[in-house]
Amino acid sequence: MRCRLEGDDPDLEYAFMEGLRDDGYTDYIALGVPLTGDRRQPASFSLRRAGGFTDSELAALRGFMPVFGMLSEIHVGRKLASDLLDVYLGHGTGARVLDGAIRRGSARRIPAAVFFCDLRGFTAMSERLPRKYIINVLHDYFGAVGAAIEASGGEILKFIGDAALAIFPVEEEASATDACNRALQAAHDAIAGLEVVNQRREAEGKPPLRSSFGLHVGDVFYGNIGSAGRLDFTVIGPAVNRAARLEKLSADLSVPVLVTSEFAEAASGGFRSVGHHRLKGIEDGVEAFAPVADGAS
């Protein structure tokens, strides 16, 4: 479609063309862009030069459409892949996979604050409540927790049933203190977010949601693990184990947030010891700490 916008009798069939003419445009053309699967999408061009497009310019534009379609599909396809990987793997992990980090066993060692949380009482809840209700519970829970992690710059690596694993990498020009502070802030924000959710749930006659958090800082192995045909991009190592075990202790002691001594030393703010505890798989056990503002709940 071509519409000339200058002269005594302009082509103003569509309302937006009046705006183009008022902005000084003299010519408008819409061409079909060929795509795979016999699909076509429109691309429009306009200019302000007196006389509009020349015949040679129109021929050049028409000749460019197949190349334009190919380039568009490449860029759109990559954007769609990037968006999907961001949603399912997380932004940093998705970018690495898209860049080709897909070889089994490929991993790198990085320092990070490890964040592990779990929904209290979920097993009993899932045994007695309908499936649809349980899904809505998880949406409420992960909605509050996920928003808190992302707001503090964390990377959600996976949801494991009613648990979530995230990391706050120690950036090259930052310190472990920054990563730990962001992880701790995410835990506090998640608790605050759950309180907002619980206000709504209470009005709906539903039981409140409570969570426990385990935080540690240390080196983790970050990369691909799995079978030849199915990989998982995740983190492993003693630092991950300690965060997960500490989260379980948090639930057992009814203290919302527990951190290791390494985390407490690196993070800003005050912490109080809740004693030395033996944890599954950790021979020497750990001394656990709670933020001074956190009491029993």
Confidence (pLDDT) at 88: 66
pLDDT at 295: 47
Q: How far is CA 297 from CA 29, 263, 290, in A?
A: 67, 22, 12
Average pLDDT over residues 61-88: 84
What number is the average pLDDT over the span 206-210? Answer: 90
At 104, is the pLDDT very low, low, confident or very high (cuts 50, 70, 90)?
low
Q: What is the pLDDT of residues 18-60, one digit of tens each?
A: 899 989 999 999 999 998 888 889 999 999 999 999 999 999 9
How many angstroms separate the Cα of 171 from the Cα of each of 13, 15, 152, 177, 179? 56, 52, 14, 11, 8
Relative orientation angle of helices 91-98 and 55-89, to the nearest 10 degrees: 120
Mean local confidence (pLDDT), 13-18: 86
Of all residues in the chain, the percent with pLDDT exceeding 90 is 51
Output the pLDDT for position 215.
97
Q: What is the pTM of this model?
A: 0.71
Radius of gyration of the chain, Cα coordinates, nearest whole angstrom: 28
Per residue in 242-272, pLDDT (tens digit) is 999 999 999 999 999 999 999 999 998 899 9
**H or E element, residue 273:** strand 271-279
Q: Which domains does the chain have, with CATH numbers?
A: 2-89 (no CATH), 106-291 (3.30.70.1230)
- Note the helical H segments in 7-118: 15-22, 55-89, 91-98
Are the beta carbons of 211 and 118 closer than 8 angstroms? Answer: yes
CA–CA separation, 222 and 111 (whole Å): 10
pLDDT band for position 103 (50/70/90)? low
Question: Does the structure show a pLDDT above 80 at 225?
Answer: no
Between strands 211-226 and 257-260, the pairing is parallel
Going by C-alpha positions, the residue among 127, 195, 189 that lies closest to residue 162 is 127
> SS3 of 288, please?
strand
pLDDT confidence of residue 278: 87
Return the H-helix or E-strand segment holding 205: none
Instruction: Inform me whether the pLDDT recorded for 152 exceeds 90.
Output: yes
> For residue 287, what pLDDT is reported?
92
Is pLDDT above 80 for 101? no
Q: State the average pLDDT over residues 122-139.
A: 83
Which range of 39-53, 71-85, 91-105, 127-141 scores highest in mean pLDDT? It is 39-53
